[in-house]
Amino acid sequence: MSASAPSQPRRARRTTAVASLGYSLLYGLGFGLSAWGYDAWALGRSHADLAWAKLAAGLPLVLLTCALTGILAGRSDRTGVQVAVWLAGGTLIGVALGAMPYGGRTLVAWLAEPAMAGMNVYPWPPAATERAAFVALIAGSVGAPAGLVGHLAVERARGSTTDGRNTRWRRWAGLLLGLPLAALSGFAGDELINRPARVGQQTVHRAISTAPGDALGRSDEEDVAIYRDRFSAGYVLYLVDWRAESAPETEARAERGTADAGLRATVDVAFDTGLGMRCRASGGRLDGCLPISARFESWMAGLIEQGRSGGQGTELDTQPGQVSVRQGTLRWLAQQREAIGGPYEIFKEAQRGAWVIVSARFDTGYVLTCTFYGDSPVVLERCSASEGPKP
C-alpha cells in the first residue's frame, strides 16, 4: 500500500499532461481541417494552382501552436490560467489562418518554384487586413471557452486515476468536446478569409468547364474567336488579384440580387494547349476573358527589339492592359544588344499568382528571362541572362 500510494500522484500528473496535449491536438486538427479542408477540396475541383498549399502549410503550424498551448495549460491547475492560455493560443491560430493565404502560400510557392524564391508571390491585399483581424478576434474568443471545456475534460480524465479505477474510454472521450468549438472557429475563418479569394476562381472554373466559348470577351483590339479551338479540359487557374468593391458598388450589385456582390477577381487560365486567358469576375459572375499568353509573347518580343535598337524609345506603354518598363531595364537590355541579335523562341517558364516568368532562348544558347507582375498595367520587375548549352 505504501509503495503504490506515491505512484497515484505521478500517474495523475502523467494523465493530466497526456490529456491536455491530446485535447489540444484534437482541437488543432479540428480547427485546421475546418479552416482549410473544404477550401483545398473546392480549389482542387476548380483546377486552382497550389490548392492544397494553405492546408499543407497551416495545419502543422496550428498543431504545433495548439500542442504548446496544451502543454502550458496542463502545467497549471487553475481554471483562470488555463482559459487565459487558451485565449492566447486561439488568437495565435486565428492569426495563422489570416496570414496563410499570403505568407503560407508564398512559402509553398518558393518550394514548388525555386525561381521565385524571395519574391512576394502572394502579397497581403488591403481588403484582407480587417478580415484577418476579425478572424483572430473570433478565434481568440472561441479559445477561451475551449480552455474551459479542456479543463473539464482533463479533470474528467484525471479522475479515472485518482479514484483508483481503471481508465475508461468514456472519460477520455471528453477530449472530443472541443471539436465543435474548433470547427466553429475554423469555418468562420474559412468564410471570412478563404472564401472571398475562392469565389472568383470557382466562377471562372464553372464558366470554362460548362460553356468555354461563352467565357471569351470581346475587344476592339483583337478578334478572340480564333482562340476558341485552343480551349481544353486540362487547365490551371492562377489568382492574379481579388478585392472588395466600395460600398456604393456593392449596394448596387446587391440590389440586383447578385451573390457575392462585393467581390471582384482577376484569374488567369493556363490551358495545356499553351493558351493563356486573363478572366475577370465580379459579384460571382464572369465578366469575360481575353487572351494574355499572346500579349506576354508580344511584350517579350518588344523588349528584345528595344534591346537591339539600343533602348531608344519603346512601343510598350503604361496603358491598362499593357506593360510598364523601367528605364533601367531598357538600359540593361541595350547592353545585351550583341547577345540578342539572333533567332529566338519565347517560352513561359512559370507562373504563380500574378507573377509570370517568360524566357527567350536564342539559337546561340543565350537565354533572356524576364519576370512580370500584376495587372493593369503589368509591370516588368526584372530581367536576367544566362548562357545555356548551344544547340
Question: How does pLDDT run across 126-171, given as a tens digit for each residue?
Answer: 777 888 999 999 999 999 999 888 888 877 777 755 454 544 556 6
Q: Is the peptide bond before 377 cis (omega within 30 degrees of 0)?
A: yes
Q: Kindly report the average pLDDT of the chain as a whole number.
A: 82
Q: Are 132 and 173 in contact (CB under 8 A)?
A: no
pTM: 0.84
Q: Which of 315, 366, 313 is nearest to 343 (CA)?
A: 366
Which domains are seen in the chain, by residue range? 7-198 (no CATH), 211-291 (no CATH), 294-387 (3.10.450)
pLDDT for residue 321? 53
Cell output for 299: 511584350
66 Cβ partners below 8 Å, 6+ apart?
Answer: 24, 25, 27, 28, 31, 89, 93
279 Cβ partners below 8 Å, 6+ apart?
Answer: 204, 207, 215, 266, 267, 268, 269, 286, 287, 288, 289
Instruction: Name the pLDDT band for 314 (thresholds 50, 70, 90).
Output: low
The residue that leads in pLDDT, 42 or 273, is 42
Dihedral pair phi/psi, residue 95, rounded to 5°: -65, -40
- Lookup result for grid cell 497549471: 76
Length of the chain: 391
Percent of the chain surpassing pLDDT 70 = 81
The residue that leads in pLDDT, 152 or 50, is 50
pLDDT for residue 91? 95
Determine the Cα–Cα distance for residues 78 and 74; give it in Å rounded to an integer: 10
Instruction: Name the pLDDT band for 28 (thresholds 50, 70, 90).
Output: very high
pLDDT for residue 315? 53
Q: What is the DSSP letter of 315?
A: S
Is residue 67 pLDDT above 90, yes or no?
yes
Q: Which of 10-19, 41-50, 73-82, 310-319 has the lowest mean pLDDT?
A: 310-319
Q: Are 286 and 207 in contact (CB under 8 A)?
A: yes
pLDDT digits 0-9 by tens, 174-195: 778 889 999 999 999 999 999 9
